[in-house]
Structure 1
Amino acid sequence: MLYTQNPNQRQTYKDPNMVEMVTRYHIHDLSPNQCSSSLVQTIDAPLPLVWSVVRRFDNPQAYKRFVRSCSLLYGDGGIGSLREVQVVSGLPAGTSMERLDALDDESHVMGFSIVGGDHRLSNYRSIMSLHDNGEGGGGKTVVVESYVVDVPPGSTKEDTCLFADTIVKCNHRSLARIAEKMASP
């Protein structure tokens, strides 16, 4: 059994495969000026379908509602690719430059880093892993996403994590709605 490090929202993992994946990808060493969180969403859709939406580094707006548009600046959507994301109005940001750091179609893992832009998520690194939920006959996907980010001057770890958690949770809910709609007959 494994517990994630987020004290506000502890997750328990019993499946040995999930424990191994969470241990490998979602336990982070932090500097004193950083915060981290791990968030989980269960989606009532098969893993291959959910992965087909998530893995498209060139099309985050397919499920990330805070993304207005995305342009691939370098690469073909594989590891090392660089994208510029235009953020919807109303957020304290306009653009984000993001690099794809990990993409594993076999293990269903994707990770990216924010490398520029006009926002407060300095040194943001995210990793997302998708897992088949074998309970009750399958057909469901468990999404685990964790991140590490610097705490901006004048802010607290709690406020920084609350801000980032809110965005990630909205993305997860949107991904669930879209994938479940695609999976329904």
Structure 2
Amino acid sequence: MVKTYHTHILLKNQCGSTIIQTIDAPLPLVWSLIRQFDNPQAYKGFVKACSLLLGSGTEKGSVREVSLISGLPAKRSKERLDRLDDDLYIMEVSIIGGDHRLVNYKSTTSLHEILEEGKRCKTVVIESYVVDIPDGSSEEDTCLFADTIIGCNLKSLARITEKMFLDSQDF
């Protein structure tokens, strides 16, 4: 899984990482939140609002502007959808502007099922990225910042989808 979709070639001024989250919910449910390019705040707690600037949010080249919550070292981010594959469960996004230091940021998110006894059991979400290391910052600091944001987002995704799944099982 990681080798196929999450191998990035890093330039000398770049860093990257891969974060993995296992979620106790079926893949279609998890994918239903992730694939909402026009609604990242459905699970990303640092996002206050999102508006589409170009495209439908499901097609390559769609562009969104994301407003971030206060307290972060940025207020907005402009992002482009580079790939949305509903068959392979892959989403690729690039940051193309904003008032932050994440220059040339590109991420890949893929979902994979874990089957137990022939039935759907869990979803593994893998998110990897590559980004330029800003002047005056180190590779470690840059990766720590990005890893922390992604980790928080994936933990939030797990909490939300696991609750949705459990609530759907109640009779």
- Pick the TM interval, shorter chain: over 0.9
> Given the alignment, which residue of 56, 64, 77 partners 1:83?
64
- Give the 3-state SS of the residue equivalent to 2:150 in structure 1: helix
For residue 5 of structure 1, what is the aligned residue in structure 2? none
**1:161 paired to 2:143:** yes
**1:43 paired to 2:23:** yes
- Give the 3-state SS of the residue equivalent to 1:38 in structure 2: strand
Could you tell me which runs of 5 or more consecutive residues in structure 1 were left unpaired when the two chains were aligned. Answer: 1-17
Deviations 1:147-166 (A, max 9, x none): 00000000000000000000
Pairwise CA RMSD: 0.9
Runs of 4+ in 1 over 6 A off after TM superposition: none
For residue 154 of structure 2, what is the aligned residue in structure 1? 172
Q: How many Å separate the matches in 2 of 1:181 and 1:115?
A: 33
For residue 183 of structure 1, what is the aligned residue in structure 2? 165
| Amino acid paired to 1:171 | N
| Amino acid paired to 1:107 | L
Q: CA deviation at 1:105?
A: 0.1
| Amino acid paired to 1:113 | S
- Give the 3-state SS of the residue equivalent to 1:171 in structure 2: helix
> Given the alignment, which residue of 96, 116, 125 partners 1:143?
125
What TM-score comes out, normalization by structure 1 length?
0.87
| Amino acid paired to 2:12 | P
Percent identical among aligned pairs is: 64
| Amino acid paired to 2:141 | D
**1:105 paired to 2:92:** no
For residue 132 of structure 1, what is the aligned residue in structure 2? 113
Deviations 1:14-61 (A, max 9, x none): xxxx3xxx2221011000000000000000000000000000000000
What TM-score comes out, normalization by structure 2 length?
0.94
| Amino acid paired to 1:146 | S
For residue 24 of structure 1, what is the aligned residue in structure 2? 4
